[in-house]
Structure 1
């Protein structure tokens, strides 16, 4: 099971955060730097600043909606986190879940060698993985100091099982003879837990200093939950949720448009209001038949098996009122539904236990339920949510809506109507129903932009928009095509609604007659026949029209990946538009970038010319460390990098420091070794610290480090003992330097043989999101531009007064245009002259006359030579600085622009 593109981006976001954490040390500074790199402000009107929930421990969150694969993301996150930490004796993970049903599901998946979750862990940790339940930990089953030192230990636990005030949590605090070996091996705890014995399970886990994964973390916000997290003595905390709390430090957002593009969810939700409960039941049964007929037609054409399911939402007086569910079952049978196709699922009644709803052998097509589906029930075949609430009752879909959103088989269905979710109600106040649907979407991690309402007349549209609040104008409402033309958002009372208040009361005989008159049929292409005078035909016709507008938004977001802002952050960014007078300019301008032609067998996103953008990673091909020198000067090792921040000790990322016990253990072991063993020990430690380095194979990396450390003399060994991390970092930088040299050579060699070429590729967007937007200087392309240093500010000021400059733009770092060569080079400015020349400008001061500047200058000039007439690149130094060869001073550059 490969990570999907959006999941890869989430893991990249985690890697970027970990890099910021290693660079800045401070938790708050790392969080701010992480978002600044994405042009998102932290503080003020932007994202809430870092919340130091567990003092000194990195605590971050992935916001992933229902259907986004949070568990798989968690599995893929463990290795990057351990790789970013100092090497530790024990790799332990505590995986917390909110309920017993989720606990059972997670344990089953992680213990199953054939499951993608376990396969991911096995691949990342060489198969040395053990997954434990609390019961197995308490009896010490395959759980000892020796085993945890040799493997990844994943402990799947429920929140309640470690809360001291809960009966099920007390065993974790008690003395445990099965775990005495840990107390002997680990010694006195650095972070003792109050009221816990040294041999208690909780204290043992505490001394493992684990990574803690908190699933559905919005459930773990109480004081007791905080106390539990502190007692685990975590080295890192990763929250997973669709609905982050205000104190969550979210580092990666996944939105609906992204999930829809990756075929993970059935969106938009099509909300449809009927005149009565009879019409709701009729429409639900007819829609199910039509969707199933379409699914069968799709399967005959080569598609996978799908059996659309209806959730009938009842609202009895109590959840234990089984009479209600039985009455509904009886009524459905009276309509003509086979009893074998009906099941009840509530907190008290579970007829789905042991049933594989995805199996072709399963007959269930109708599930009667309430809101109590939080107990671990999921089925991608659920398509229709039909509320059986009375016309005057509140339609509460908040806790159930998410159950119809998952896309079967996580793939786009050929029949478009199988890519949407459907909600049917008969509410007297459809506006309130829509608000509740929005609440249900919010619970699932989505927003009001992710549904479309039909069955609302044009007279009521204004009222609905006002009721839904800001942003609702993006929703589309439409009248039914010639059906119920007098319908309003408040259907007139029907006899069955007026005379009876029972949730199960509908006219089975009349419904059966209507369904018999409109037998399901499909067109040759698998779509439902719109001309059929049935409820389903009308709903599906509306769904296709409404879904088309949503799909256009999805495709636009996919095309604009580099500039896409997740829905959750749209009110946190500066939205700056291009000046109208320059709109034609950016539509006509396409800036060249380097491209390659991939092998025919590759799976690539190609342009019309059959090429793809060159990536820096592609230039790594052929790199090897086998023939590289091992020279290393340790006399210049810097002062201790891994020091405590004495000014703000509570903000220290102590996850990225060895514990005192680990430091003592390592030094004690090291001092007892002979010189050759010390070299081998150093090689192993350095390897653990700096791996992985793409694209170097782990075995080759290990061999190269061993070659270096085998050459250590007594002075080098002493330097290593004193500055362990700095020596490891020096070796890492040496390898990266060798890799850069290889990519540089490969790049220019491939250009020489025309394996790398230049094509028009990059389009400037109409909207940008600079963090520190400023409109002080005139002549800019956008209504405001990003922040500038003094030299950049001087250049922009000079450009603004030049007659030959049509516009200038402060290019956004990591978000704007880049020259894609051995490095990704983001020039500071893009300038267009009145004569149509496009000029890239990189500004430099004296202190930046270094190797990095030389690499950028050479790359820029090569791009200029290949980009064609009208494209230029200049590296510009301040007038009092002697520029590098082929670079120019500020005055020289401005004189060129005047005549360009």
Structure 2
């Protein structure tokens, strides 16, 4: 079976969900929510108006982020963390039948990442079924296997339950409702007199009897609810329906959450690009001269991409999506296909064309990703909006005159996914392409950017910079196609070291301003009428005088629209002139290294663990931090000295049926091995250690095997904590051993193996980004992509870290700098410590080629052990670098012994004073 490794943002999302639900079980979901918000620096209150006491959280993931794959992993983790079961019942609700069919296939078919996500946690103990297949699930399977029911929310959403089949009496489900307790039966719907008229085989004797219905089956088993595309289902009727189903908890997955969604984790489009999930930027080409020109250029684009793809290690066959006009238009499906195949047209083999409309379904059953498939051109009108996915789709050619970008946006989502979720060697194959017939290109581009935000999960900056319109000779970076000269890193040499040129700003206006352009702006501002209003072309930056003129020409709603258009253009200008966008490389930063077994290696956690001789049997496997005392239907568990009241689930959800009749220690040990597996511990060693723990708990702690099985999820958590503690002790020991020999990596001939650099397209910053009035000029990724930097504090004062960043930005010796992002060792610069990695707040390249790392500490953090260790490591990095590196611990002037300003501290560090 194919293996699918989760991307970092996917793992982080699942960790956030599991942490929330684990804490919700212990402390309540409001407290868990407040703790989750504190971890990400937010202060949003939990909204309980929709689901009441049922914990309900939302995950925001842009289009192309793999929501279904993450949900497949989430149901198992949340089942253990909150419902205390290895065999949850899950109701998976989707917005349409097309997506229902697609989701069922993804969860069922081996080789799919979604199916693999279920198999990783449940093995063969999982049933995936549609509502009409639920009768095939036997009572013995509930509790022994995960049961996942995929349905549309419309199947349940009705006020009168007597008129919908899912609420009707179904005798085939009767075995599930035998021997119900009064507590189980109380919330379930009963047969009413209204049902007798609808189902004539029922009699008066059935009135008051629990309905053996699909809906009651769901409610009886208290499912985990997964709601896909949740923004479509936030009506009063929808939530009345969800509450009626007695869910254990609710997980919403959407790119565009709406008001009231409890967003516990937010993934940005940049993170998807960092992980090679989507193709960006979108290269948008306008074709005002006619649809045949658009078709020709789209085909040439695809042909060029296929030539480049021939050099890839993975098979890639670029595909065009043609969006024809509806019946009655000039370029219908028939007209387009005729043009594509005619000798007077493009002369394309008809076998390479697939038509996908309501009437023609030539893609049905076609494995378009197979090397044997000839399809290179897909013709549709709007049939690909849902239920179709092909990472080979690279080019969208819309022949509908795009006064509105709605259909363009819906189809554009089909060309964003990256083949194999891996970056291509040819830079041109990391982009998506759109050829659009339009008489009003600027308006379409703006609306498309708006829809990336509203419908596809981009933030405003990501949307503004996701769409580019390069000159034709620079359409294919790294692949030739004009006069652009490409260096060995794949960037335009002509752009790298020149001073940044501010591109033109094109501001869409609702109408022509009544007043002419002021004389002082005549050289930089030009107004042009369009069919939809007007366009202001600003040559250079949109300064305050230009903004005042444009805003002063409108009022109310129109003025707000112009203000948004100006801000969008400023974002585009800022992004275009940023060093990263121009391909300017960032200096190499040497890592702290240690010579291990005769070889120079960066000192990371793995090496520290080896140096510290991490060994499971170095001490007795006693699991001293785990204590269990059963008190009725709760368990008091003492883990690492902190008592937790761990509530038992309902008897049918305890998973007892999942334990074989003759369960023994080995059954529990093998289960613990699956839950606690460590990549660097051989399985025989882990199994031996786990068996010793289980035997110790029974022999020396008087805990029965039955009690350990019934609380195995808590036991697994205690085992994981024990492993983490032991590993951390080894890391500390290994770090102390390596510390005297640590040195900044030397410069080796033609090699930067032991160095880090910031990648121009891989910044892990997360929204909300910096949005203050001061505009930074030297941030490597631009003023609008500065991670976690507040302009002012809650009291209105300038934030201290902002002042530090401004001091770096304004120093004339600084070439460019980066707001370093914590806890992402792949794309951020780090130095090792005895407990973790240390990420300096700011990293700068100086004009003389040196690099500067700045860590800012407030008064309350000065003098503690953590800060002292970071200073020690930073100074060692500087001292051992041969003059290449500078480290500064920056503090507020009131905490500086000499009372120096932050500007003076930065200058003194650079000058070595």
Q: Partners of 1:150 and 1:723 in 2: how far apart?
A: 16
Preserved CA contact (<8 Å) 2:176 2:217:
yes
Give SS of 2:334's match. Answer: helix
Preserved CA contact (<8 Å) 1:747 1:822:
yes
Question: What's the CA shift string for 1:462-512, capped at 9, x where partnerless?
Answer: 5535579xxxxxxxxxxxxxxxxx999779xxxxxxxxxxxxxxxxxxxxx
Give SS of 1:464's match. Answer: strand
Q: Partners of 1:434 and 1:401 in 2: how far apart?
A: 13
Q: Partners of 1:388 and 1:822 in 2: how far apart?
A: 60
| Deviation (angstroms), 1:451 | 0.7
Name the residue aligned to 1:783: 803
Give SS of 1:437's match. Answer: helix
Q: Is residue 615 from structure 1 mapped to residue 628 from structure 2 by the alignment?
A: no
Alignment of 1:552-563 (within 5 A): none
Question: What's the CA shift string for 1:507-560, capped at 9, x where partnerless?
Answer: xxxxxxxxxxxxxxxxxxxxxxxxxxxxxxxxxxxxxxx999979979689999
Name the residue aligned to 1:881: none
Q: Is residue 629 from structure 1 mapped to residue 617 from structure 2 by the alignment?
A: no
Name the residue aligned to 1:708: 696
Preserved CA contact (<8 Å) 1:96 1:159:
yes
Question: What's the CA shift string for 1:770-798, capped at 9, x where partnerless?
Answer: 5795489999563289xxxxxxxxxxxxx
Name the residue aligned to 2:239: 226
| Deviation (angstroms), 1:110 | 1.9
Preserved CA contact (<8 Å) 2:294 2:437:
no
| Deviation (angstroms), 1:362 | 3.8
Preserved CA contact (<8 Å) 2:143 2:658:
no
| Deviation (angstroms), 1:244 | 1.9
Q: Partners of 2:131 and 2:238 in 1: how far apart?
A: 18
Name the residue aligned to 2:222: 209
Task: Tell me: CA distance 1:599–1:122, structure 2 relative to 1, closer, same or farther (3 Å).
Answer: farther
Name the residue aligned to 1:182: 176
Preserved CA contact (<8 Å) 2:285 2:434:
yes
Q: Partners of 1:812 and 1:299 in 2: how far apart?
A: 37
Alignment of 1:468-507 (within 5 A): none
| Deviation (angstroms), 1:867 | 6.6
Give SS of 1:67's match. Answer: coil
Give SS of 1:397's match. Answer: helix
Q: 1:325 aligns with which of 325, 333, 340?
A: 333
| Deviation (angstroms), 1:450 | 1.1
Greater relative CO, 1 or 2 (CA 8 Å, sep 6+): 1
Give SS of 1:209's match. Answer: coil
Q: Is residue 295 from structure 1 mapped to residue 306 from structure 2 by the alignment?
A: yes
Task: Tell me: CA distance 1:213–1:76, structure 2 relative to 1, closer, same or farther (3 Å).
Answer: same
Name the residue aligned to 1:11: 14
Preserved CA contact (<8 Å) 2:633 2:648:
no
Q: Is residue 769 from structure 1 mapped to residue 788 from structure 2 by the alignment?
A: yes
Give SS of 2:164's match. Answer: helix
Preserved CA contact (<8 Å) 2:833 2:869:
no
Preserved CA contact (<8 Å) 2:394 2:432:
yes
Q: Partners of 2:266 and 2:380 in 1: how far apart?
A: 31
Name the residue aligned to 2:751: none
Preserved CA contact (<8 Å) 2:592 2:877:
no
Task: Tell me: CA distance 1:127–1:348, structure 2 relative to 1, closer, same or farther (3 Å).
Answer: same
Preserved CA contact (<8 Å) 2:86 2:122:
no
Task: Tell me: CA distance 1:206–1:700, structure 2 relative to 1, closer, same or farther (3 Å).
Answer: farther
Task: Tell me: CA distance 1:865–1:130, structure 2 relative to 1, closer, same or farther (3 Å).
Answer: same
Give SS of 2:410's match. Answer: coil
Question: What's the CA shift string for 1:40-78, capped at 9, x where partnerless?
Answer: 3324xxxx7545532223322232222222222222323
Preserved CA contact (<8 Å) 2:790 2:799:
no
| Deviation (angstroms), 1:256 | 2.9
Q: Is residue 37 from structure 1 mapped to residue 47 from structure 2 by the alignment?
A: no
Preserved CA contact (<8 Å) 2:92 2:226:
yes
Q: 2:126 aligns with which of 106, 129, 139?
A: 129
Q: Partners of 1:110 and 1:440 in 2: how far apart?
A: 29
**RMSD between aligned residues:** 6.1
Give SS of 1:189's match. Answer: helix
Alignment of 1:30-429 (within 5 A): 30-38=32-40, 40-43=41-44, 49-50=46-47, 53-85=50-82, 87-88=84-85, 90-137=87-134, 139=135, 141=136, 143-164=137-158, 170-184=164-178, 187=181, 188-189=183-184, 192-195=187-190, 197-276=210-289, 279-296=290-307, 298-299=309-310, 304-316=315-327, 324-334=332-342, 335-336=344-345, 337=347, 338-389=349-400, 396-429=407-440
Name the residue aligned to 2:5: 2
Task: Tell me: CA distance 1:686–1:425, structure 2 relative to 1, closer, same or farther (3 Å).
Answer: closer
| Deviation (angstroms), 1:201 | 2.8
Name the residue aligned to 2:558: none
Q: Partners of 1:92 and 1:114 in 2: how far apart?
A: 23
Task: Tell me: CA distance 1:389–1:615, structure 2 relative to 1, closer, same or farther (3 Å).
Answer: same
Name the residue aligned to 1:744: 732
Preserved CA contact (<8 Å) 1:268 1:452:
yes
| Deviation (angstroms), 1:322 | 13
Alignment of 1:469-618 (within 5 A): 595=593, 611-612=601-602, 614-615=604-605
Give SS of 1:367's match. Answer: strand
Task: Tell me: CA distance 1:752–1:356, structure 2 relative to 1, closer, same or farther (3 Å).
Answer: same
Q: Partners of 1:559 and 1:617 in 2: how far apart?
A: 33
| Deviation (angstroms), 1:828 | 12
| Deviation (angstroms), 1:690 | 8.9
Alignment of 1:721-736 (within 5 A): 736=724
Give SS of 2:277's match. Answer: coil
Q: Partners of 1:332 and 1:871 in 2: how far apart?
A: 62
Question: What's the CA shift string for 1:309-352, capped at 9, x where partnerless?
Answer: 141331446xxx99943344344444434444444323454332
TM-score norm. by structure 2 comes to 0.62
Name the residue aligned to 1:444: 456
Question: What's the CA shift string for 1:664-696, capped at 9, x where partnerless?
Answer: 998x999xx9xx99x979988996999578877
Task: Tell me: CA distance 1:61–1:744, structure 2 relative to 1, closer, same or farther (3 Å).
Answer: same
**Aligned residues between the structures:** 716
| Deviation (angstroms), 1:293 | 4.4
Alignment of 1:638-717 (within 5 A): 657-661=647-651, 699=687, 702-712=690-700
Name the residue aligned to 1:500: none
Task: Tell me: CA distance 1:394–1:28, structure 2 relative to 1, closer, same or farther (3 Å).
Answer: closer
Q: Partners of 1:745 and 1:661 in 2: how far apart?
A: 45
Preserved CA contact (<8 Å) 1:270 1:420:
yes
| Deviation (angstroms), 1:238 | 2.2
Give SS of 1:94's match. Answer: strand
Question: What's the CA shift string for 1:834-855, capped at 9, x where partnerless?
Answer: xx9989979889xx99xxx879
Structure 1 window deviating more from structure 2 (304-313 vs 759-768): it is 759-768
Preserved CA contact (<8 Å) 1:397 1:436:
no
| Deviation (angstroms), 1:226 | 1.5
Q: Partners of 1:890 and 1:3 in 2: how far apart?
A: 45
| Deviation (angstroms), 1:376 | 1.0
Q: Partners of 2:679 and 2:172 in 1: how far apart?
A: 43
Preserved CA contact (<8 Å) 2:395 2:433:
yes
Name the residue aligned to 1:430: 441
Task: Tell me: CA distance 1:841–1:389, structure 2 relative to 1, closer, same or farther (3 Å).
Answer: closer
Task: Tell me: CA distance 1:588–1:383, structure 2 relative to 1, closer, same or farther (3 Å).
Answer: closer
| Deviation (angstroms), 1:455 | 8.6
Give SS of 2:225's match. Answer: strand
| Deviation (angstroms), 1:215 | 1.8
